[in-house]
């Protein structure tokens, strides 16, 4: 993967949004954002209602993903362009789902909704009507998803990247600062994890920083060993999907997994090691 | 109360039902020429200038952060290349208000 395989810019979207075989999809942290205006021709995926299992703590299964994409009128061969607010935070999370279930032709709109809005580009309230499809997903790809036992085994052996804010990493906060403070049983971080807050990968306007800047950020600044396998985590796996996107899709690192159980799971486990304090 | 990482609709969180004693809330509204700015973003930066959180401005130009006690900066981004910073000090048990005119 490389930047051109994984990203498109706003001009590309303006030119191709109505092309057959191109589907724009908005996925926002604020799930009401789409309803107040979205890029013309875009459909909506609600990360909470559409992408989570309604009973278990897990994401939607293969059958559910097939039903969702079929209902939204997305075909296996379509080029899906995902975008959202807050530096494409939740769009990157959805991108990880699409890859997990084998949809190869998926990209992010660089800068997402924020840059689109800051550039004063057109937003509409009309909801496009797309014909239903019969989407067929692959089995979930375990090579990009980490589970807790794998994470515990990776301590001191693999790169662990904690992408939460420094205050969450140190144990000062239990949740992101725009949410009420509720979360895991214990604060802190996984021993040996490096702290690279996810949004350091983005410019103020939400676009991704250059490949060279990203390599420097994760490499000599944070101390990741690019020769090792990597697991990224945050609180519930969404910010770390953004970092997974950077490392795996933009920088082409081979074995990078997203631990979506993240701190809400790890920080509530009995018997696992936890460290407090600032990054070492 | 919000679950997951989901932001509240419009980026503004009602404080109803939230125990303020255990929260260090930073809240404010953004306006331009007396009118609420509804297209834009508020970012919270820590004392080192690093990004901590971001919300879209709400219908009345509002934003809310649940921070930790200490010094913070709120940065507002709006169309036209607007980027305005305001310092704010937060503490448990109170709502630190910072209204920003751009």
Residue A279 pLDDT exceeds 90: no
For residue A167, give the nearest of B1, B18, B68 by CB distance. B68
CA distance A11 to A17: 10
> If pLDDT is split at 50, 70 and 90, which confidence band does B6 have?
very low
CATH homologous superfamily for the domain A143-266: Rhodanese-like domain (3.40.250.10)
- pLDDT at res. A177: 65
CB-CB neighbors (< 8 A) of B68 in chain A: 167, 172-173, 177
The CATH code of domain A3-140 reads: 3.40.250.10
CB-CB neighbors (< 8 A) of A239 in chain B: 5
| CB A39 within 8 Å of CB A30 | no
CB-CB neighbors (< 8 A) of B4 in chain A: 48, 236, 238
> If pLDDT is split at 50, 70 and 90, which confidence band does B54 have?
confident
| CB A123 within 8 Å of CB A117 | yes
Q: What is the DSSP string of B25-69?
A: EEEEEEEETTEE--S-EEEEE-TTS-EEEEEE--TTSEEEEEE-S
CA distance A256 to A253: 7
Please pick, among A13, A82, A190, A234, the residue that the annotation labels catalytic: A234
- pLDDT at res. A146: 98
CA distance A33 to A30: 6
> If pLDDT is split at 50, 70 and 90, which confidence band does B53 have?
confident
| CB A100 within 8 Å of CB A140 | yes
User: Whats the size of chain B, residue-wise?
Assistant: 102
| Closest-CA residue to A185 (of A165, A164, A171, A203) | A171
**Coil, helix or strand at residue B93:** coil
Domains identified in chain B and CATH numbers: 24-101 (2.60.40.10)
CB-CB neighbors (< 8 A) of B83 in chain A: 204
CB of B16 within 8 Å of any CB in chain A? no
| β-pair partners for B101 | B31
CA distance B26 to B98: 7
Strand A22-26 and strand A79-83: pairing?
A: parallel
Subunit contact B64:A239, Cβ cutoff 8 A: no
Interface predicted TM-score (ipTM) of this complex, two decimals: 0.72
Segments of chain A assigned to CATH 3.40.250.10:
3-140, 143-266
| β-pair partners for A275 | A189
Interface contacts A/B by beta carbons within 8 Å:
110
Measure B8 CA to nearest chain A CA, in Å. Answer: 6
Subunit contact B67:A177, Cβ cutoff 8 A: yes
pTM: 0.88
| CB A154 within 8 Å of CB A260 | no
Q: Which residue of B has its CA nearest to A37?
A: B39
CA distance B42 to B61: 10
- pLDDT at res. A232: 98
A130-163 tens-digit pLDDT: 999 999 999 999 999 999 999 999 999 999 999 9
- Report how far apart, in Å, the C-alpha atoms of A72 and of each of A36, A76, A129, A142 are: 19, 12, 9, 25
Measure B1 CA to nearest chain A CA, in Å. Answer: 7
A67-110 tens-digit pLDDT: 999 999 999 999 999 999 888 999 999 999 999 999 989 999 99
Phi, psi for residue B95 in degrees, rounded to 5:
-105, 115
| CB B37 within 8 Å of CB B7 | no
Q: Is residue A234 annotated as a catalytic residue, yes or no?
A: yes
Measure B21 CA to nearest chain A CA, in Å. Answer: 12
């Amino acid at each position: 993967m490389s930047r051109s395989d994984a990203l498109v810019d706003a001009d590309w979207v303006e030119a191709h949004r109505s092309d057959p075989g191109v589907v724009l999809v908005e996925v926002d942290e604020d799930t009401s954002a789409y309803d107040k205006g979205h890029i013309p021709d875009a459909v909506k995926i609600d990360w909470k209602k559409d992408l989570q299992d309604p009973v278990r703590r897990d994401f939607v299964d293969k059958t559910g993903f097939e039903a969702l994409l079929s209902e939204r009128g997305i075909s296996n061969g379509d080029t899906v362009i995902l975008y959202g607010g807050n530096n494409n935070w939740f769009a990157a999370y959805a991108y990880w789902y699409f890859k997990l279930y084998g949809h190869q032709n998926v990209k992010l709109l660089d800068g997402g909704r924020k840059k689109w809005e800051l550039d004063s580009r057109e937003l509409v309230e009309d909801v496009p009507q797309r014909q239903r499809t019969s989407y067929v997903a692959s089995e979930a790809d375990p090579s990009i998803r980490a589970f807790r036992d794998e994470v515990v085994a990776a301590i001191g052996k693999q790169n662990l990247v904690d992408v939460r804010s420094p205050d969450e990493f140190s144990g000062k906060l239990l949740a992101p600062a725009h949410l009420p403070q509720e979360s895991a049983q214990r604060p802190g971080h996984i021993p040996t994890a490096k702290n690279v807050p996810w949004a350091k990968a983005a410019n103020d306007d939400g676009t991704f920083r250059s490949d060279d800047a990203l390599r420097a950020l994760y490499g000599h600044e944070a101390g990741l060993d690019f020769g090792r396998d990597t697991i990224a985590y945050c609180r519930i796996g969404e910010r770390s999907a953004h970092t997974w996107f950077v490392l795996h899709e933009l920088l082409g690192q081979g074995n990078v997994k997203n631990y979506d159980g993240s701190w809400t799971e790890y920080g509530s486990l009995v018997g696992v090691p936890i460290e407090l304090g600032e990054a070492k | 109360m919000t679950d997951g990482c989901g932001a509240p609709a419009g980026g503004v969180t009602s404080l109803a039902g939230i125990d303020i004693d255990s929260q260090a809330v930073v809240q404010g509204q953004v306006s331009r020429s007396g009118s609420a700015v509804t297209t834009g973003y508020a970012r919270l930066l820590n004392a080192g200038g690093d990004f901590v959180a971001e919300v879209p401005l709400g219908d009345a130009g509002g934003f809310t952060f649940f921070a930790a006690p200490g010094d913070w900066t709120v940065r507002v981004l709006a169309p036209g290349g607007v980027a305005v910073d305001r310092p704010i000090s937060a503490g448990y048990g109170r709502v630190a208000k910072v209204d920003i005119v751009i």
